[in-house]
Amino acid sequence: MTDEKTSINDARRSKRFEKNPIKGTKFTIVISSAKGGVGKSTFASNLALALKNLNLKIGLLDADIYGPSLPKLFSINHKPESIEGKLIPIKKYNIQCISMGFLTEEQTPMIWRGPMVTSAIKTFTQKVDWNNLDFIIVDMPPGTGDTQLTFAQEVKVDGAIIVSTPQELALQDVKRGIAMFDKLNVKIIGLVDNMSFFIGDDGKKYSIFGDGGVKKTSIEFDKNFLGAIPINSDVGKFGDQGKPIVESEPEHEISKIYLNFAKQIKSIYLGD
């Protein structure tokens, strides 16, 4: 914890602290979560698809070097081309995609030290031929480690969304995530409460992980609350099929929630 704090402070003080925008996009939005398994990658991919459905040009950068999700979520099984030293993103569902998972075999464990992660992130942000995008949505690894630091130090990030589930344990870590982005001067667009509740066959609402915790945290830290997504088995089903719910069933109630998130993001950065 002390090391982490020290390096964040070093990053802020550094004279070399120069942030470069990712070339080829107007805005870069990172999707972050304090813990794994809260639905961050699912959120990132469905948000990207919902923004695309608003006629925006979108890129999806899977920055989770250790546990890439995009190959599975978008069913992409081939390597990107490289032209004149630049990687060409793979276009799927009309979204430009890059993931470490496109470059390695599925079962290969990524046993990488910090500097290697930093260099992979630099490649993804400086050596990819992103083409004429409105937004790049970045799926961050969970936590507050090397990838987050590299991003915040080197890349001009226009906003961060923090995804959480409502359990007390997850919320503890969300607070750490908020503190990290605040220290690194990255604007927090807001918090999302995923797997917030479940509607049973009886039509009743069950708050399985507790009620309203993410919203309370956003109020406590004076951040926006962007909204809640219920538990719905269709989310996992379509994700497993390699065609996320927003692409498979744009009229689904869950897809409409995502469209609402996308409209909020569009309105913040591009106006209505």
Q: What angle do CA 202, 204, 210 make, to 5 degrees?
A: 140
Question: 153 or 165, CB closer to ligand ADP?
Answer: 165
Question: 5 or 205, CB closer to ligand ADP?
Answer: 205
Question: 25 or 69, CB closer to ligand ADP?
Answer: 69
Count, residues near ligand ADP per rule CB under 6 A = 17
| Helices vs strands, H then E, count in the chain | 10, 12
Q: Are 63 and 95 in contact (CB under 8 A)?
A: no
- 64-103: contacts with ligand ADP (CB under 6 A): 69
Question: 112 or 198, CB closer to ligand ADP?
Answer: 198
Q: Which residue has the tokens 């942030």?
A: 19
Q: How far apart are CA 100 and CA 45, in angstroms?
A: 15
Question: 96 or 194, CB closer to ligand ADP?
Answer: 194
Q: Are 46 and 139 in contact (CB under 8 A)?
A: no
Burial of 58 by CB count in 10 Å (0-12 exposed, 13-18 middle, 19+ buried)? buried
CB of 80 to ligand ADP, least distance (A): 22
Grouping H, G, I as helix, E, B as strand and the rest as coil, residue 19 is coil
CB of 17 to ligand ADP, least distance (A): 29
Instruction: Using CB under 6 A, pick the residue from 160, 235, 257, 265 that binds ligand ADP.
Output: 235
Our finding on whether 255 is near ligand ADP (CB under 6 A) is no
Structure tokens at 103: 């470059």
Closest CA relative to residue 70, chosen from 60, 80, 78, 79:
60
- 5-44: contacts with ligand ADP (CB under 6 A): 33, 36-42
Closest residue to bound ligand ADP by CB: 39
Closest CA relative to residue 74, chosen from 216, 261, 241, 267:
241
Q: Are 150 and 180 in contact (CB under 8 A)?
A: no
Question: 8 or 140, CB closer to ligand ADP?
Answer: 140
Binding mask 212-231 for ligand ADP (x = CB under 6 A): -----------------x-x
Strand segments (E) across the chain = 25-32, 58-62, 82-83, 86-87, 90-92, 95-99, 133-139, 159-164, 188-194, 198-199, 205-206, 225-229
Instruction: Using CB under 6 A, pick the residue from 96, 194, 217, 218 that binds ligand ADP.
Output: 194
- 39-68: contacts with ligand ADP (CB under 6 A): 39-42
Question: 40 or 223, CB closer to ligand ADP?
Answer: 40
Binding segment for ligand ADP (CB under 6 A), chosen from 94-102, 181-189, 232-240, 263-271, is 232-240
Instruction: Using CB under 6 A, pick the residue from 239, 246, 247, 259 that binds ligand ADP.
Output: 239
Return residues touching ligand ADP (CB under 6 A): 33, 36-42, 69, 194-195, 229, 231-232, 235-236, 239
